[in-house]
Structure 1
């Protein structure tokens, strides 16, 4: 599949490298091409261009920017280029304020999510929340003693969620489909929970797993 990634940070680079490894074609969109010089040298098969370039290239697109820049990144990519496409939203609504006792602060409230904001702002795009509840180092082919960890996903379009489930499983995860975009109100705070051991004790090698009775 041709996959466009909007972003140039650790998440974008990790997912881009992983998707290349799994046989996909990848284009990263960025406002700072120089930031990807080393990554591009290590991954010569990948394309690097503007947000619009990545949006145009991708049959599926991944949004991997800071939460506060999410709307701006989609605007830069061009909503018309993303219309009808599945867009995996990896963002979290992390505020600029410092963590409190290891707990990140969000700029959203408990009864809203950044995914819902994006879906309202760009109704023609098929957003699915995923890859927001683990660090970039563990997003591709995660290896944990307890077996494959669980990636929680949500989005209003059922077919889009099935497409994203396939990508997530391909990258080594179990999938828990939580339904519509409203579920992102619960999924996005998993970022807070995941970061507490890291911010409090510098422990970053963990992931969540949903256990079910047989």
Structure 2
């Protein structure tokens, strides 16, 4: 399918290259497309355009920017028009512009209101699904870990949107665990904090979560 990715950092680039490698048509949206000219030249399967270009192109969108820039990116994409009725994977996290404390990131949200809920309220016609926020970019596509396929925890208010994301996750090496409505993003976003602690404390960035069932 046509996937439009809003963002140009490491997460956006990893998802763009990986999803293109799985046969999807991908456009990466950025504020300054010229800055990605060298990167794009080595990846002919990925197009580059503005945020609005990527959103209009998308059958499915991915929000892959810093949490502090998420609303601005959606505004630049004219999300209420270009993403209305579409699935939007929210890979962002509400990381504050402050250093970690003993390896624990600081968030600008509270446990009573997630970033995705804020974005969903601001753009009610967009079908937000939380995913790809609880692992590093190097493991987002086709993770190879000794424990087998890891688990991606997802949440969102639209059942059909979550089914679409579950199928996409399966294509790229993940089992999905549906945690419920958008309110569950309050629990999923802090998984980013937990995932990062071994990295900050021990430089261990190669791991992922797995939900074990009987």
What band does the TM-score fall into relative to the shorter chain?
over 0.9
Q: Which runs of 5+ in 1 are unaligned?
A: none
Corresponding residue for residue 37 of structure 1: 37
Does 31-40 or 59-68 show the bigger shift?
A: 31-40
Distance 2:38 2:183 in 1: 38
TM-score (norm 1): 0.98
Corresponding residue for residue 63 of structure 2: 63
Distance 2:211 2:45 in 1: 36
Distance 1:80 1:24 in 2: 23
3-state DSSP class of the match of 2:177? strand
Q: Deviation per CA, 1:62-113: give whole Å up to 9, x if none.
A: 0000001101111100121110010000000000011000000000001110
Does 8-17 or 30-39 show the bigger shift?
A: 30-39
Corresponding residue for residue 167 of structure 2: 166
Misfit runs of 4+, over 4 Å: none
Determine whether 1:147 maps to 2:141: no
Q: Which runs of 5+ in 2 are unaligned?
A: none
The equivalences for 1:1-214 within 5 A come to 1-78=1-78, 79-213=80-214
3-state DSSP class of the match of 2:27? strand
Confirm or deny: 8 A CA contact 1:8 1:35 kept in the other structure.
Answer: no
Distance 2:176 2:15 in 1: 17
TM-score (norm 2): 0.98
Q: How many residues align?
A: 213
Distance 1:94 1:84 in 2: 28
Distance 2:107 2:210 in 1: 23
Q: CA RMSD in A?
A: 0.7
Confirm or deny: 8 A CA contact 1:2 1:57 kept in the other structure.
Answer: yes
3-state DSSP class of the match of 2:152? strand
3-state DSSP class of the match of 2:124? coil
